Amino acid sequence: MHGNAVPDSYVYVTEEGVARHYSDGSVEALAWEDVAEVRVGGLAPAEGHPDVLIVLLDRDGEGCVVPRSATDAGFLARLRYLPDFDLERLRTALETAGDGYVVVWRSPDPPSPLPDLEYD
């Protein structure tokens, strides 16, 4: 069969956040205000085409994985709104990505303390 294959996922970037919709119907999403860490790492080659992943995580380790191939100027521009985000550090990490992950940004805000629990 010839032609373009159906992509396994789509990435949507809005002012509110980023979401990755998979072909199986599952969704990873994260609001920009909840992003606590940005990581960059490699991915094992799939059909001879390795991709680099940008991983956005919240304080609980949940988040959204964005393949570099799915990024655009809007996504990169939105990352710049994260406090003290360094686009050069991101570019360097993207160019030198290996099998592991490197943290390119971490929120300067300390995590919120857990509420005091009262026991009866």
Confidence of residue 119 (pLDDT cuts 50, 70, 90): very low
Q: Please give the backbone phi and psi of residue 36, each rounded to the nearest 5 degrees, phi first.
A: -115, -20
Q: What is the pLDDT of residue 109?
A: 77
Q: What is the pLDDT of residues 2-43, one digit of tens each?
A: 444 446 788 999 999 999 999 999 999 999 999 999 999 876
Q: How many residues can be counted in the chain?
A: 120
pLDDT of amino acid 98: 77
- 40 touches 53 (CB < 8 A): yes
Residues 29/17, Cβ–Cβ less than 8 Å: yes
The helices-and-strands tally (H runs, E runs) of the chain is 2, 7
Distance spanning both ends of the chain, measured CA to CA: 66
pLDDT of residue 45: 52
DSSP annotation of 46:
B
For the segment 57-81, what is each residue's pLDDT rounded down to a tens digit? Answer: 999 999 999 998 888 889 999 999 9
Q: pLDDT value at position 112?
A: 57
